[in-house]
Amino acid sequence: MLDTSGYAAFLRGRAHAVDAIRAAPAILVPVIVLGELRAGFEIGTHKERNQAELAAFLHSRRVAVVPVTEATTLRYATIYAFLRGIGRPIPTNDLWIAAAAMEHSVALLTADHHFHAVPHILLEFIPADS
């Protein structure tokens, strides 16, 4: 599963992200990630290019966009309560992304450290030097 930071690292050619995406038999993209990416495109300086690159990426047979489901909401609530209980909140969109990764039992490709606080998700962490 791809986090927004994972997609950005892939586009920037960071080796760890490129290798992980090339090796994956399937790439799940949470609809929340699409929202974050498209919001960034709207305020960025290369809107058309970014939209075209994303459209090409999403067109791959290996890529599937995953919606928020009722099962996602249950995992969201569990993660939220746990992180709040230990005093380690993370951004709301990242709660949704973590819940999607948990729901689908797949590793989340990310460069964001705060996902380490989320229990019961698999992380494929992109180190800063890759």
Q: Is the pLDDT of residue 103 over 90?
A: yes
Q: Is residue 130 one of the residues assigned to a domain? A: no
Quick check: is 73 in a domain? yes
Dihedral sign from CA coordinates of 84, 8, 122, 31: positive
Structural domain that includes position 90: 4-125
What does the longest C-alpha to C-alpha distance in the chain come to?
Answer: 42
**Model confidence pLDDT, tens digit, residues 56-100:** 999 999 999 999 999 999 999 999 999 999 999 999 999 999 999
pLDDT digits (tens, 9 = 90+) for 5-34: 999 999 999 999 999 999 999 999 999 999
Q: Is the pLDDT of residue 130 over 80?
A: no
Identify the pLDDT of residue 6: 98
Check which CATH number belongs to the domain holding 30 and give it.
Answer: 3.40.50.1010
Q: Looking at the whole model, is its pTM more than 0.85?
A: yes
Q: How much is the pLDDT for 39? A: 98
- Residues with Cβ within 8 Å of 16's Cβ and at least 6 positions away in sequence, in order, are 9, 126, 127, 130
Residue 113, helix vs strand vs coil: helix
pLDDT of 129 reads 80
Q: How many domains does the chain have?
A: 1
Domain-located, residue 38: yes
